[in-house]
Each structure stands twice: as structure tokens, then as C-alpha cells.
Amino acid sequence: LFIAAIWWVAGWVALVPLAAVPMVIAVGLLIQIPLNNVIKRNLRESAQKHAILVEAIGGIETIKSARGESRMQRRYETFVGKSAETAMWSRTLSAVAVNFSIFAQNLVTVGVVIVGVYLIMNGQLTVGGLVACSMLAGRAIAPLGQVAGLLARFQQSKASFQTLGRIMAAPVERPPGANFLSRPRLHGEIEFRKVTFGYPGQTVPILDNVSFRVAPGERVAILGRIGSGKTTIEKLVANFFEPQSGTILIDGVDIRQIDPVDLRRNIGCVL
């Protein structure tokens, strides 16, 4: 609208702000590529910083008894520094786009004056028309600075939305439409039938074709070195993971068919 008004007042002078508009938009769009990467890094580092803080508060007694205060503090300070650095880069890149739009606005004002002077010399423009064109040119370019800031906020919102989307898209224990068996009281019979399980990313399974049965009321100790699968068996009984093959039965029922609420209500574990 302002460029059209300049064209109506001074004709070819309108080409000066018209040429600056794609330049400002192009610079703003080019900055979005590194800005997007920086914002994603900042979100990851901020999440790790908060995770360490929550972990330290929740396990404060264990950390103190193991004399791990300095280690946890170093980890926390490391991520504080990294998140502060990426936040600074994010603000810097956003400021570049905004400052370039201000620079373009000043450059357009100078260009309008230069072109307008020649038009005045040729009798095609008055001094009052040149003043009006200078004011209108500034109004035409000023909103582009807001667009640059808006693009930065868009990248932040986009990265946050993608993070939430990954969380919401994660599989759930009780998918819609699944029908579970109600077992409010379990007697405690546990049976593994040729169970094989490996953690994601590992080529060697932790449990390979394991079979055993624990009768109700029976006390069983599973002994072995670190990494032999003791805790893995506990997690499988609590249905934290599903085996790649084989079946786990609780009271003769496949553990995947029992309602997770009933299962957790009847099973207590300390990992």
C-alpha cells in the first residue's frame, strides 16, 4: 500500500523500496536455516539441564552417599553453559535479521532522497513530494523488521511443537481399542517360556531362550554377574518391556493380556 502511494506521488521512486523488500525477506529466510538448528540444540540442552536437576533432587541421598556431588554439579554446569551459549546464538541470529531490516530502511531513505533529487532537478517532483516519499518509504520497510522477529518466534514454536509431537506420538501401554483382562488379584505364579529379549540398539540379546517357573509363595534368588539379565527379568515381569520372542505368563495368563493397572497393583519391585 505504501509503495503504491509512493508510485502515485513520485513514480519511479517507488522502485527503491520495492527492491529492498525481497532483500530483507531473503536475508530473513536464509537466517532461518542456522536459527532452526540452534533452537533445536538449545531445546535439547535445556531438557538435559532440567533432567539432571530433577535426577539430582530425586536421588540426593544416593548422590551424597556415593560422594557424587561434584560430578553432578559439573554435569549441570556444563549444560547450563551450553544452553546459555546456544540461547545467545539464537538471539544473535534473530538480531541480525532485525538489524538488517533497519539498515535496509535507512538505505531506502537515502536511495529515495538520491533518486528524488534528480527528479526535482528535472522538474518531475517537488520538495514536498520528496519529503512525503521519504516518510512513506520508511513506513513501507519498517514492518519487515517485525516479520524477521516473527520468523524467529516461528522457529522456536515449530521446534517446541515438534518436541511435543514426538512425545504425543510415542506408543502407550493402553492403546485405544485394546481389550485387557481384568485381574484385580494375582496369586503370584510367574512363568517364562523360551523368552528372548535384547535392548534397542544391541545386537546380542540379554536373555536368550530363557524358561523357568516360580510357583505362588515360592522364594527364588537369581544370582549372576553385572549385565547377566537379573534386572531385565524384573523389568519384563513388571511389563516395562515386551520380549522379542517367547511368552511371559502370570497366573497362566499372557502378561500382555493383563490390564497394566492390575499388574502393577499386584507386583512390587525395587530396581
Neighbours of 192 (CB within 10 A): 21
Sheet holding 190-197, edge to edge: 207-214, 190-197, 245-250, 253-254
pLDDT reported for residue 61 = 86
Threshold 0.75, pTM exceeds: no
Per-residue pLDDT at 115 exceeds 90: no
pLDDT band at 195 (very low <50, low <70, confident <90, very high): very high
Question: What secondary structure does DSSP assign to 200-215, as a single string?
Answer: TT-SS-SEEEEEEEE-
46-72 burial, b for 16+ CB within 10 Å, e for fewer?
Answer: bebbeebeeebeeeeeebeeeeeeeeb
* Alpha helices for 59-199 (secondary structure H): 60-65, 69-121, 127-168
pLDDT digits (tens, 9 = 90+) for 197-219: 998 888 888 999 999 999 999 99
pLDDT reported for residue 192 = 95
For the chain, state the CA radius of gyration: 33
CA torsion, ordered 166, 170, 176, 180, to nearest 10 deg = -170
Judge whether 95 and 64 are in contact, CB under 8 Å.
no
Cell of 95: 538480531
pLDDT digits (tens, 9 = 90+) for 234-263: 999 988 888 999 999 999 999 989 988 888
Please state, in angstroms and as integers, the Cα–Cα distance from residue 1 to each residue in 10, 24, 136, 138, following that order.
14, 18, 10, 13
Judge whether 43 and 163 are in contact, CB under 8 Å.
yes
Question: What secondary structure does DSSP assign to 25-63, as a single string?
Answer: HHHHHHHHHHHHHHHHHHHHHHHHHHHHHHHHHHTHHHH
What is the mean pLDDT of the segment spanning 94-109? 81
Judge whether 208 and 196 are in contact, CB under 8 Å.
yes
How far is it, in rounded angstroms, from Cα 138 to Cα 117?
A: 17
Higher pLDDT, 256 or 32: 256
